[in-house]
Every structure is written in structure tokens, then in C-alpha cells.
Amino acid sequence: MLHNFRNRFDNNILSQFNKALQVMQSMPRRLPFFLKAATNQQKAARLRAKHSQSGIEVPPLLIISITRRCNLNCTGCYSKLLHLDEGAEISTDKFRSIFTEASSLGISIILLAGGEPLVRRDVLEVAAEFPKIIFPLFSNGLLLDDEYAMFFAKNPHIIPVISLEGSEAETDFRRGEGVYKNFHQVIYLMNARQIFWGVSVTLTSQNFASSLSEDYAKGLMNMGCKLFFFVEYVPVAEGSEDLLLSEVQKNEVQPRVDALMSALSALFIAFPGDEDQYEGCLAAGRGFMHINPTGKVEPCPFAPFSDTDLRFSTLEEALKSEFLAKIREKHHLLKEGKGGCALWANKDLVAELKNQ
């Protein structure tokens, strides 16, 4: 049943926060925040369980692409290729409404993505009003100046996560010359203010071995990094299939991430992670769902299909979406897929469910 896998997902989230308490021994100034955050996560899990008893299944995680705008033009960027809706971006007031409702439902983590989310300072100011929600913010870092560093220091529940492609050569090749050098300037600002920060690395066939090595992790940890996201490459751009992880590499992702988690004093998260333990994809509200820049509710960032628009409905109504329910019912068909996303690999099936 859905709640069995949700409980497992909840437990895995709580284990990350327990590990965070160990990691934060080296940053005692931030330890009280993570103690409170771990308690808030437990309270949110109980709230979700309460809603489940009344027939509303609430995922722990919400992913919101808060803008389509970006100051880079990265090779193969899924956002530029999939976020084609030219409608107005979600307003500041609507974001406040979404965060308020998310908190009341028990959604305890809201991942902010883009585009480049730092162009929407208004949204981040609203997120600052909700300290019980953890907001990982995925950014290229180019707009992260001293003013933003002060903002993150004041609001530790908003966690900057800088996107890399591995080494300097790999990062600059895909993102542009000078991006990796800027990363070093950004971490100087964050470390000076004792900000808890992380990195997100897109795993490809080319950087797999080096990016998932202890040497790579230790190098970033020595720079102050405490959080690692490893995201499997999705071949949204035609002709980029050579970057796909091989089947052998794909099967090694979670064991390697688990090994890093056990060996090193940092947090390591694979996305989409070990879907086998959940008997399929966690998208469409089983574990998370996605809101695009104009307010459309989608199964995940790589499945741009929707039957619900938050401009005209509430978040609770979105959780009751017939389309998302159909995907959840087919989760057993969505266990594996080439390119790190079962929904993208089965996009014809997803489109068919949308049109039924």
C-alpha cells in the first residue's frame, strides 16, 4: 500500500537529519537549528499520517521550479527544453499561499529550482517566513554575492546547493568558462558566515567514477561542503544519449552513495535513488511532485504533463489529481528507466494516462 512506502521514505528522510546532527558537530553554531529541524520533520511526518487517515496522501517533498529565467545556457538543460509555457510566473502572493498550505498539510521539504532561483529574491523572502520547512535551493551560484550570503546565514532553513558537473573542466565545458572559478569565490563567502551548503552533481557516463569517489567528496568537504546530491543525467536533449549511465553504472549509484554516507562526515543523496525499495517511481505524489514556473502541477520535473493549475486550485486539490492518481497506480511499471527518470523513459505512457 502507498502508506507503507511513504513510511519508508519518511524514515529515510529522518535518517538524513539524524546524520546531519552528527555532521554538525563541526559547526556547533548551527547545531541548535538542526536539532529543531529534526523535531519539525518528525512533527510533519505525523501530520502527513493524520491526513492519510482522512484520505489525503501528502508527499514529504515538493519540487518547485520557481522561474524559467536563467543567466546560463547549459548544454542539455532540461529546464530550457521542457519549461516552454510562456505564461506568467507564479506571483509572490501565490507562493506565500502555496507555502502556507504546504506547511498545514505536512510537506516538510520544498526544493527550489529554476531556471536560476536566485533571480526570484521575492520568492526567497517569502520562503524565509516559513522556518519549519527546509528549502534546498539549487543554484549555479553566479548571483550569490555577499548580500545573499548574509540572507542565507540569517535563514539557515534555506540551504544553497551549487550545481557542478564534477571537475573544473567538466563543469566549464557544460556550464561555461569561469563557472567553476566562481564556485570558489562563492564558497569563500558562505564559509565566512558559517553557512551550511552543498553541491549537486549531474552524474554522466563520463564523470561517474570520479564524482562518486571518496577523493572527490573529501576535496569538496575540505572546502566546507556538507551536503551532496548526485542526480542521474536525463537525456532530454536529443543526441546526448552517450552521457547516459550504463546499466552497470546505474546499479552502482546507490551502493556507492551509501558507502560515502557511511565513511564520511557529510550527507549524500542520490536522485532518483533506490526506486526498488519503493517498488517504483516516487513521483506524482508517492514521495514528491513538481510545480512548474507558471503553476502547473506535474508528476516530476521531467514529465511536463498536468491536469491541475494552482492559479485556479489549491494544493490539496492538486494532491487529488486524477492524472497523478493514475501514475501512482502504474508505479510498478515505472521502476527503471534509462537516464535517471522512469517517467521520462516512459513518457508515451505518461502522455497516454494524461489523455485518458
Specify the pLDDT at position 8. 75
Q: What pLDDT band is residue 273 in, cutting at 50, 70 and 90?
A: low
CA distance 137 to 34: 17
Residue 35 has pLDDT above 60, yes or no: yes
Lowest mean pLDDT among 105-119, 126-140, 276-290, 306-320: 276-290
How confident is the model over 297-303, as a mean pLDDT? Answer: 88
Rounded to two decimals, what is the model's pTM? 0.91
How confident is the model over 283-312, as a mean pLDDT? Answer: 90
Residue 79 has pLDDT above 70, yes or no: no
CA distance 78 to 277: 27
User: What SS3 string covers the chain?
Assistant: CHHHHHHHHHHHHHHHHHHHHHHHHHCCCCHHHHHHHHHHHHHHHHHHHHHHHCCCCCCCEEEEECCCCCCCCCCCCHHHHHCCCCCCCCCHHHHHHHHHHHHHHCCCEEEEECCCHHHCHHHHHHHCCCCCCEEEEEECCCCCCHHHHHHHHHCCCEEEEEEECCCHHHHHHHHCCCHHHHHHHHHHHHHHCCCCCEEEEEECCCCHHHHCCHHHHHHHHHCCCCEEEEEECCCCCCCCHHHCCCHHHHHHHHHHHHHHHHHCCCEEEEECCCHHHHCCCCCCCCCEEEECCCCEEECECCECCCCEECCCCCHHHHHCCHHHHHHHHCHHHCCCCCCCCHHHHCHHHHHHHHHC
Furthest-apart CA atoms within the chain: distance in Å: 54
Residue 227 · residue 23 · CB < 8 Å: no
Which residue reads 557529510 in cell numbers?
Answer: 266
Specify the pLDDT at position 280. 66
Specify the pLDDT at position 317. 94
What phi-psi label fits residue 141: left (phi over 0), alpha (psi between -120 and 50 degrees) or beta? left
Residue 243 · residue 78 · CB < 8 Å: no
Asked if omega into 272 is within 30° of 0 (cis), the reply is: yes
Specify the pLDDT at position 156. 97
> What is the pairing mode between strands 288-291 and 296-298?
antiparallel
Query: pLDDT tens, 145-197?
Result: 999 999 999 999 999 999 988 887 888 777 878 888 889 999 999 999 999 99
**For the chain, percent of residues with pLDDT exceeding 70:** 87
Which of the pair, 17 or 332, is modelled with greater confidence?
17
Average pLDDT of the residues of the chain? 87
Specify the pLDDT at position 175. 82
Specify the pLDDT at position 277. 58
Specify the pLDDT at position 52. 86
Q: Which three cell numbers stand for residue 281?
A: 517511481
Helix axes 2-23, 31-53, angle to 10 degrees: 170
**Selection from 98, 249, 233 nearest residue 174 by Cα:** 233
> What is the pairing mode between strands 61-65 and 288-291?
parallel
Distances (CA, A) of 26 to 20, 120, 226, 266: 11, 32, 10, 11
Specify the pLDDT at position 328. 82
Other Cβ atoms within 10 Å of 250 Cβ, number: 19
Residue 343 has pLDDT above 80, yes or no: no
Residue 31 has pLDDT above 60, yes or no: yes
CA distance 40 to 11: 14
The CATH superfamily assigned to 2-355 is Aldolase class I (3.20.20.70)
CA distance 103 to 91: 18
Hey, which of 149-163, 235-249, 335-349 has the most confident mean pLDDT? 149-163
Specify the pLDDT at position 274. 59
Residue 216 has pLDDT above 70, yes or no: yes
